[in-house]
Amino acid sequence: MARLNSKAEDLVSVAKRQGWVSTVRELPDAESLQITIEKKQVQRLISCMYSASSSPGWYRIALNGEPDLLAFVGGVATLEQVKEYAQTPIPMPIIGASAREFTPILNQWETDLPKTRWRDSGATIPERIVRDDKRRIASEAPFDQIMMQLGQFRSVTLAQKLLEEKFELSGTKIQQKELESRAEGVAFCVRSAFSYLDHAAMISMSQRIVSLYYGSVALAEAEILASPNGKSSLDEVEKLTKGGHGLFAQFNDDHGPPEFEELIVGPLRNNGFFPQWLKILGIQHDDFSEGKPKKPEDYKSSRHITLGDLMASIPEISTLFLDASNKPPRWVVPSLAPRLHGAGQYTSTLIRLRDRSGRMPKEYFDELPDCIHDLYFVTPEEEDGTGLILEGIVNHPNHKYWWGALPLHRNRNLASSCLILPVFGRWLPYRVHAVVLLYALSILVRYMPGTWQRVVGGPWDHYEVVIESLLDGFSKILPEVFLKELIPHDLDVYLPGSIFS
């Protein structure tokens, strides 16, 4: 009877969702159940029995009371079989005892009920309502809508409402004076960002680099003011910038004539905006250099990365960059390994990592997160596929799914999520990574005109289209990324008519 009871519970559950009250009784001397459901003083009787039942006596018991439905467990007996076994007319429908087959029958019964606006129960608004605060953008031109949503915070009133909600959700108390001060700062920073970003597509590449950099810094300042553990006024944010950018970009003259990709970019420990931004984001920076390297040996003790490696870490420009450069990419595409997985929940999962270019050296994979281990290369003979393929195990005891344990980068411009290797020895959010790269390019534009001339019409002009693609991508991605950081809720962006709309 255990299976019979289980199937009966499925039918009762379907009826309950539509407001029917159910009672179940086991029939004596027969392996069958009868379910009575009632709604608005209308009753329906369901007999539930095994399809293997063949005794006329069992059928007579099951059909007692003239049920409205006969539901079989273990397959559906044919009408002819039921008539033969029951030796009586069978006027009611016959189905398999499943929610899928029962639902259309129940829907038909609903049409026979007297129509009322409200159910007898459930007509009172619940005391506790969970709001759906997810922001959704469905537009043929999603970027325009993103800019509108971001641009609304140029209003001090709307910025204050944003902060009130953000602090309430974080459980952080804030005084009214500080709230107003932060709101004024957020509104000013967003207005400042728009003054840089609004016309970025219509100016020269050199101007666009500088505008995108300062526009992104302004959005980062707005993020700092909107963060519960950030700064409380625009004056405090200004103090962060008095020490400069908090980054350095220079060539190592000891290596001979400069090459575009060899520009060295690094962070400073205390001075300037960048380390203070990382501090508010909770990113450790104690091992950064106190100052710019002045001698070749100083680079050995500093955290730094080359401009080429920074650009190799941007998946959105990978195709163009790999055409222009001999460097390997610094990102991989993770996915579930296509075998050895059954149903259930795991705390470790076999995954696959793919470098589509096939250029990445083995030592790059030593920079992967510590939760990934037992890596091995998969040869083309073992699996179909292009590029360099590895498989390994990712431990995720604190996450239901394996990808929750990895710092993945994803956006609408990518076909799949990516895992970008660390910058400055740590996992930086994409927006931080982008600001570092824009800073480096802005240094070339503003302070190294001879070097920059080689890019815009000289021997390095093969990088020009790469930079144009980079700027085009950043101008669309960064406003969305910063908007997601400013608002306290999720943001979904999709095209109308897509599978997600």
Write down all domains in the chain, each with its CATH number in brackets.
1-112 (3.40.1350), 134-330+421-494 (no CATH)
Of residues 394 and 3, more confidence is placed in 394
Residue 266 DSSP SS3: strand
- What pTM was computed for the model? 0.76
Rounded CA gap, 287 and 274, in Å?
A: 14
292: pLDDT strictly greater than 90: no
Q: What is the mean pLDDT of residues 288-301?
A: 79
When pLDDT is cut at 50, 70 and 90, the band that residue 78 belongs to is low
What pLDDT does 64 receive? 73
Backbone angles phi, psi at 110, to 5 degrees: -60, -35
With pLDDT > 70 as the criterion, what percentage of the chain qualifies?
87
Which residues face 169 on adjacent strands? none
Cα separation values, 290 from 198, 253, 298, 382, Å: 36, 20, 11, 50
Report the amino acid identity of residue 282.
G
Quick check: helix, strand or coil at residue 316? helix
Picking from 262, 328, 261, 331, the residue whose alpha carbon sits closest to that of residue 299 is 262
CA dist., res. 260 & res. 458, Å (int): 12
Contact 149, 135 (CB under 8 A): yes
Position 336 pLDDT exceeds 70: yes
Residue 239 DSSP class = H
Conformation bin of residue 103: beta by default, left when phi > 0, alpha when psi is -120 to 50: alpha
- pLDDT (tens digit per residue) in 193-229: 999 998 777 789 999 999 999 999 999 999 999 999 9
Instruction: For 132-198, give the DSSP string.
Output: ---EEEE-SSHHHHHHHHHHGGGSHHHHHHHHHHHHHHHT----HHHHHHHHHHHHHHHHHHHHHHT
At which residue do the structure tokens 């501090």 appear? 279
Strands ordered across the beta sheet of 32-39: 21-26, 32-39, 42-50, 69-73, 94-96
pLDDT of residue 66: 80
| 378 neighbors 409 (Cβ within 8 angstroms) | no
Which residues share a beta bridge with 232? Answer: none
Q: How high does pLDDT run on average in the chain?
A: 87
Could you give the residue ranges of the DSSP H alpha helices within 295-448?
307-312, 318-324, 430-447
pLDDT reported for residue 342 = 53
pLDDT score of 501 more than 80: no
Highest mean pLDDT among 48-62, 300-314, 458-472 belongs to 458-472
SS (H, E, C) 323-363: HHCCCCCCEEEEEECCCCCCCCCCCEEEEEEEECCCCCCHH
Q: Cα 154 from chain centroid?
A: 26
* Nearest by Cα to 252 from 292, 288, 296, 291: 296
Cα 325 versus chain centre, distance: 31
SS (H, E, C) 108-146: HHHCCCCCCCCCCCCCCCCCCCCCCCCEEEECCCHHHHH
In which element (H, E) is residue 43 found? Answer: strand 42-50
Beta bridge partners of 390: 353, 377
- 383 pLDDT exceeds 60? no
* 83, containing H or E segment: helix 79-86
Evaluate whether 97 touches 15 at the Cβ level (below 8 Å). Answer: no
Comparing CA positions, the residue from 58, 40, 57, 38 lying closest to residue 49 is 58
Q: Which of 94-98, 224-228, 337-341 has the lowest mean pLDDT?
A: 337-341
Coil vs helix vs strand at 264: strand
Task: Give the distance between the most distant pair of CA atoms in the chain.
Answer: 102
Q: Which residues contact 325 (CB under 8 A, 6 or more apart)?
A: 261, 308, 311, 312
Check whether 330 has a pLDDT greater than 80: yes
Q: Is 268 helix (H, G, I), strand (E, B) or coil?
A: strand
pLDDT (0 to 100) of residue 233: 94
- C-alpha Rg value of the chain to the nearest Å: 32
**Which of these, 59, 126, 45, lies nearest to 90 by C-alpha position?**
59
Q: How far apart are CA 34 and CA 67, in angstroms?
A: 8
The answer on pLDDT for 415 being more than 70 is: yes
Which of the pair, 124 or 42, is modelled with greater confidence?
Answer: 42
Give 450-476 pLDDT, tens digit per residue.
Answer: 999 999 989 999 999 999 999 999 999
- Please state, for a pLDDT cut of 90, what percent of the chain lies above it: 56
pLDDT over threshold 70, residue 443: yes
Lowest-confidence segment of 197-206, 314-323, 473-482 by average pLDDT: 197-206
**Mean pLDDT across 128-154:** 84
- Give the model's confidence band at 396: pLDDT under 50 very low, under 70 low, under 90 confident, else very high: very high
The strand pair at 388-395 and 247-250 is best described as: unpaired
Residue 48 C-alpha from the chain's centroid: 45
What tokens appear for 429 in the block? 């959010």
